[in-house]
Amino acid sequence: MAKKRRRRKNKTSKNKSIKSIARTWANRLASPVAFWSQLSQKDYEVLNASPQYHALDYLGKLKVASNILTGSLTGKVLFSDQYNPSPNGSPRINPAGVINKWTAVGVGGLIYSVVGKQMKLPESSSIGSIAKKVIFGSAVGGFFDPPSSQGRVSTYAVTPNVTVQNRATTDRSYGVARRNRSFVPLDSFDYSTGSAFR
């Protein structure tokens, strides 16, 4: 009997320790995860559609993530050869972004916490604490989230690689040069020979 009780106590203590660890990490990660998810969501929607981004190695993708963070908050990027979330050099300010899907999740958690305390639901106190951090992180991330495309041009729909931008510029220059070559001034056309040369 004593051995069985010890086993039960050991199992109970292990379960409590696992819950405690999970609770601790959830508290630590709730705010930064909500912040980063909201801040970078639209950027990665563009980047994930780009073959150039998928071709980057881990270091290149880390540089892109760094640019998203610094470019969104300050307008400046650390790596000019990678994706620039704010090409106009200004921080991305979007007060409307404070209300987003993550803040809705946080509010839902707060409601559960309030109701849970009255009805003695499990983990109501912990969920309330995590919910507050989710709301804070998502509100800050949403404030620097790219503005919606309604009424203004979004700053996140830009090419993620300078090489691609340079290629596009070269293509445009080549097209202009071709059009210029085919252009014949009216006074240089010889109607008798049907040629531009007289």
What are 27-78's pLDDT values in tens digits? 999 999 999 999 999 999 999 999 999 999 999 999 999 999 999 999 999 9
Compute the distance between CA of residue 40 and CA of residue 44 in angstroms, rounded to an integer: 6
36, 59, 70 from 47: Cα distances, Å: 15, 15, 17
Does the reported pTM lie above 0.75? Answer: no
CB 75 within 8 A of CB 11: no
Burial class (CB in 10 A: 0-12, 13-18, 19+), 161: buried
R_g over Cα of the chain: 28
Range in 9-18, 30-39, 163-172 the model is least confident about: 163-172
Task: Give the torsion sign (CA, 161, 163, 164, 168).
Answer: positive
Q: What is the average pLDDT value for the chain, to the nearest integer?
A: 78
**Predicted pLDDT of residue 192:** 53
Q: What tokens appear for 34 in the block?
A: 């909500």
Higher pLDDT, 177 or 127: 127
Mutual orientation of helices 2-47 and 101-119 as an angle, nearest 10°? 160
Residue 42: which residues within 8 A CB-CB, separation 6 or more? 145, 146, 154, 156
